[in-house]
Amino acid sequence: MAPERHIVVIGGMNMDLVCKAAVAPRPGETVVGESFYKGLGGKGANQAIMAARLGAPVSFVGRVGDDEFGREMLAAMRANGVSTDYMRVVDGCSSGIALIIVDAKAQNQIVVIPGANDRLEPKDITDAEELIAKSSLMVTQFESPLETVETAINVAAEHGVPVILNPAPVITQKISPSTLKKVQMLVPNETEAEALTGVKQDVPDFAMAAAGSLREIGVERVIVTLGDVGSVIADPQTLKRIPAYKVTPIDTTAAGDAFVGALAAGYFLFDELEMLARFASAAGALAVTKKGSQVSLPSRQDLERFLSQHDSALLSHFQHKPSDNNHDYSP
């Protein structure tokens, strides 16, 4: 029997190649950078590791290439206590790569080469059906082919497993409303919310309007993330803004993934969507105070210290629930 709060994450893993520069280059321009580093990333991998660091048992379903990057990424997942039993290595294919430019204002520009992530097929999902059926929550994004994502959502729905969908990155294909109705929690940013709803960002109270539109489709709970402005939450009882915690940002690269991973870890800890969104926001706030992707994701101890200073009501809920992950990450 799967442990309480067991989470299955379906998605991508990337090796991040990060350049830091005062300004990002314009088309045709070359700029001199300040530093370079290599880091482990990918939305799915980041979200899985974030949830595991906060004490949730996590399994990952995805693919890597038969290269050094792939071996590094698999080792990192295991080192963080994430099960890789359903990871597959694709022969003759590179692992996913993300080329990232971070400017002096901590804003980033990213080019992603999917590599093996694009090879995750619906059959990989059906092969993992027993794992999904025994899980208490599934998390996925648009880093995998849409057909694969839709298959995963349908399989989870067949087994009564709630789904968190982070519809990132933006895709050109349209996900069907019937599939979205099977999602218990949808977590887009502003760009993704516009792509899903057609509501333009320049309309008054855009995030409120987009969240309401997604609720009308039939999504049970919606959180539109707004970066350092906070978020807008919507469920059958609530439609409101949640302010962000004030921190000094260094690198925003994995903030959204920290938010989603913390949502997953806290999904069964907080009955109220507002408290859950604040909990996720705290993880996102901590992530922007360090550079890099997975290295910036806070540990359970990091988050407890932050909440003790900024939100003691959340801390009492979090501390009440001991870790279910027998691999407690410590930096």
Which residues fall in the annotated binding site for substrate? 14-16, 42-46, 143, 257
Query: Is the N-terminal amide bond of 169 cis, ω within 30° of 0?
Result: yes
Give the 3-state secondary structure of 5-61.
Answer: CCEEEECCCEEEEEEECCCCCCCCCCCCCCEEEEEEECHHHHHHHHHHHCCCCEEEE
Contact partners, residue 202, CB within 8 Å, separation at least 6: none
Residues of each annotated binding site for K(+)? 251, 253, 287, 290, 292, 296
Binding-site residues from annotation for ATP = 189, 225-230, 256-257
Cite the annotated binding site by residue number. 14-16, 42-46, 143, 189, 225-230, 251, 253, 256-257, 287, 290, 292, 296
Specify whether the CB–CB gap between 223 and 233 falls below 8 A: yes
What secondary structure does DSSP assign to 61-106, as a single string? EEEEESSHHHHHHHHHHHHTTEEEEEEEEETT-PPEEEEEEE-TTS
Q: Copy the structure tokens of residue 135.
A: 């899980």
Which residue has 């929690």 as its token pair? 185
Catalytic-residue membership of 257: yes
Give Cα 53 to chain centroid, integer Å.
Answer: 14
The C-alpha atoms of residue 107 and residue 104 are separated, in whole angstroms, by 7
Catalytic residue, chosen from 257, 271, 302, 328, is: 257
| Residues with active-site annotation | 257
